[in-house]
């Protein structure tokens, strides 16, 4: 017997939890499926904070301007306005729901990060902002009896019938077998694809499955060439690339090369507070100049007391690796961090497939353009998660759960047999190729060689997960080859200039050649009243 619910939400980060709450508040039954534990998401790993207009010396226009500048001419202005204006209301709501942002004397504490013109970053427990937001949202979700949280339920496929998404196929953690569940609508909140690269600050679950599943289901993807590399990941051999938050540079940390020289002044007048893409490329350039594998982050001018209070998680993690951040230079180098591209949506989370909605890092809403402004990602997940929930509710008023016409033979693509050893080998090969040929600095030759390698890998018998991984790597590479300029997070050494007539979005769809669009808001038939 097929499983049925009103709505399916895939993912339990900030976007997924906020969408689930929005749906449940209207009385809908919501099944939240995650491939790991409920709290395991990119949101939980977010250290630096969330950008929001709440301080007395800030306003929406300033936040919008900062976002547009960082986005290098590719942000959709209406999406950015939606983010910064509605963000204030939704953050206040989070506080009402018990989120404990850091305060001094009862007042919220705001910090500054790269490319922000004001101190507008809220943080929690110093450097555990995402973890605190997830805690509060999970607690709020558990108050809704109609939300059913299903951890370790790995979604394998979107089920599409008559050009509408009617459900998903997932691996049942109890039965250890694929199972179908049907709903009036599906909200995709699966996060990004940082694990495509050999070095990443993302958790192991960030493999881009939602993007790949949407592509195979026929949805459009946009701006996949734009990948953000965080400049300062802890660079210790045989250790995870632990993120050293942007906020450390906001508090005065400086970058030094292997000779001890502070070098950012050679690259940008904004020094360490230049946009992330510039800082990352500057580090790569400095590594090549010095013939070394690491640069150093220096925050030793701050007291141990201040650092333990402001960055407790970073302090303890570095201490584990015998580093005292108040005394030692911290070895760092860039690592993949955020995917600006993703499933193309309108301003209400609608994808190009009826019944399929998406929010958070899995999407491309046009908010981030070619380069995400620091700390806008949590705000995007919050705002557009709520909006996707609203749209799903309104659009599906006349839709019924449609499992009756679905049989096992309607769509039964068997998973190709593949040993764990082979799957691991495929993933390692793809990650290495992406890092070496489709990384911080790209060129036509390296991109074409990467595509050739992916073509060879694809000839093997791959599991669905491996097929998703290789396909997503190809999509990023094809988009990077298509864009013959440098812009934001996409830098080509053979096309180093930003070109005005390339201020367009890349659009990719299965079975079609890569194309372009002036705007991402594709104006679907049903439009929600903007006052909602």
Residues designated as active site:
276
pLDDT of 35 reads 86
3-state secondary structure of 17: helix
Q: What percent of the chain has pLDDT over 90?
A: 79
Mean pLDDT over each residue of the chain, to the nearest integer: 91
Measured distance CA(93)–CA(141) in Å, rounded: 14
Instruction: Quickly list DSSP for 261-320.
Output: -B-GGGT-TTGGGS-HHHHHHHHHHHHHHHT-S-EEEE-TTS-HHHHHHH-HHHHHHHHH
pLDDT of 139 reads 92
- Please tell me the pTM assigned to this model: 0.92
As a residue count, the chain comes to 532
Torsion from C-alpha of 341, 124, 270, 198, nearest 10 degrees? -40
- What distance lies between CA 189 and its chain's CA centroid? 10
pLDDT tens string 134-158? 999 999 999 999 999 999 999 999 9
pLDDT of 523 reads 74
pLDDT of 530 reads 41
Element (H, E) at 187: strand 185-188
Contacts of 37 (CB under 8 A, 6+ apart): 151, 152
Tokens describing residue 490: 């996409």
**445-465 mean pLDDT:** 93
- What distance lies between CA 347 and its chain's CA centroid? 17
- Contact present, 38 and 151 (Cβ < 8 Å): yes
Q: Which single residue is written with the structure tokens 């396909």?
A: 471
Element (H, E) at 111: strand 110-111
Measured distance CA(316)–CA(79) in Å, rounded: 38
pLDDT at 46 over 90: no
pLDDT at 441 over 60: yes
Domains and CATH numbers, the chain: 3-224+340-395 (3.50.50.60), 232-337 (3.90.700.10), 420-498 (1.20.58.100)
Contacts of 61 (CB under 8 A, 6+ apart): none
Tokens describing residue 258: 């292997």
Query: Residues 113, 115, 119, CA angle at the centre, nearest 5°?
Result: 45
pLDDT at 358 over 80: yes
pLDDT at 413 over 60: no
pLDDT tens string 194-251? 999 999 999 888 999 999 999 999 999 999 999 999 999 999 988 888 999 888 998 9
Q: What is the maximal distance between C-alpha atoms in the chain?
A: 69
Label each residue of 223-254 as H, E or C: CCCCEEEEEEEECCCCCCCCECCHHHHHCCCE
pLDDT of 5 reads 97
pLDDT band at 127 (very low <50, low <70, confident <90, very high): confident
């Amino acid at each position: 017997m097929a499983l049925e619910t009103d709505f399916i939400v895939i993912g339990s980060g900030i976007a997924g939890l906020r969408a689930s709450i929005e749906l449940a508040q209207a009385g809908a039954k919501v099944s939240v499926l995650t491939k790991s534990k409920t709290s395991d998401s990119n949101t939980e790993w977010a250290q630096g904070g969330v950008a929001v207009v709440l301080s007395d010396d800030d306003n929406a226009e300033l936040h919008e301007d900062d976002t547009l500048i960082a986005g290098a001419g590719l942000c959709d202005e209406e999406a950015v306005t939606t983010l910064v204006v509605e963000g204030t209301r939704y953050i206040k709501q989070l506080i009402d729901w018990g989120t404990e942002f850091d305060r001094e004397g009862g007042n919220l504490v705001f910090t500054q990060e790269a490319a922000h013109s004001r101190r507008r970053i809220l943080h929690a427990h110093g450097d555990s902002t995402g973890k605190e937001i997830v805690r509060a949202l999970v607690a709020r979700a558990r108050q809704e009896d109609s939300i059913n949280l299903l951890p370790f339920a790995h979604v394998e496929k979107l089920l599409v019938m008559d050009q509408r998404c009617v459900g998903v196929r997932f691996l049942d953690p109890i039965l250890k077998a694929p199972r179908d569940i049907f709903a009036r609508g599906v909200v995709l909140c699966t996060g990004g694809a940082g694990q495509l690269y050999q070095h990443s600050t993302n958790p192991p679950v960030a493999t881009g499955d939602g993007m790949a599943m949407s592509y195979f289901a026929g949805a459009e993807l946009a701006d996949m060439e734009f990948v953000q590399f965080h400049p300062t990941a802890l660079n210790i051999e045989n250790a995870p690339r632990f993120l050293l938050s942007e906020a450390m540079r906001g508090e005065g940390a400086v970058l030094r090369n292997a000779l001890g020289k502070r070098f950012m002044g050679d690259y940008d007048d904004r020094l360490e507070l230049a946009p992330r893409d510039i800082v990352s490329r500057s580090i790569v350039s400095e590594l090549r100049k010095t013939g070394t594998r690491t640069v150093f982050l220096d925050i030793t001018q701050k007291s141990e007391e201040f650092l333990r209070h402001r960055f407790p998680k970073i302090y303890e993690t570095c201490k584990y690796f015998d580093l005292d951040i108040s005394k030692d230079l911290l070895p760092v180098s860039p690592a993949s961090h955020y995917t600006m591209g993703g499933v193309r949506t309108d301003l209400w989370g609608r994808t190009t497939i009826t019944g399929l909605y998406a929010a958070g890092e899995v999407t491309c809403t046009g908010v981030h353009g070619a380069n995400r402004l620091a700390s806008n990602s949590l705000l995007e997940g919050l705002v557009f998660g709520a909006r996707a929930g609203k749209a799903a509710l309104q659009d599906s008023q006349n839709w019924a759960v449609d499992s009756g016409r679905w049989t096992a033979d309607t769509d039964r693509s068997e998973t190709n047999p593949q040993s764990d050893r082979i799957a691991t080998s495929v993933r390692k090969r793809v990650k290495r190729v992406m890092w070496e040929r489709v990384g911080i600095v790209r060129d036509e030759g390296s991109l074409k060689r990467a595509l050739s390698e992916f073509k060879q890998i694809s000839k093997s018998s791959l599991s669905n997960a491996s097929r998703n991984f290789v396909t997503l790597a190809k999509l990023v590479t094809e988009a990077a080859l298509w864009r013959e300029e440098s812009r934001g997070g996409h830098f080509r050494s053979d096309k180093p200039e930003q070109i005005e007539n390339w201020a367009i979005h890349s659009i990719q769809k299965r079975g079609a050649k890569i194309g372009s669009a002036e705007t991402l808001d594709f104006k679907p038939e049903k439009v929600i009243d903007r006052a909602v």
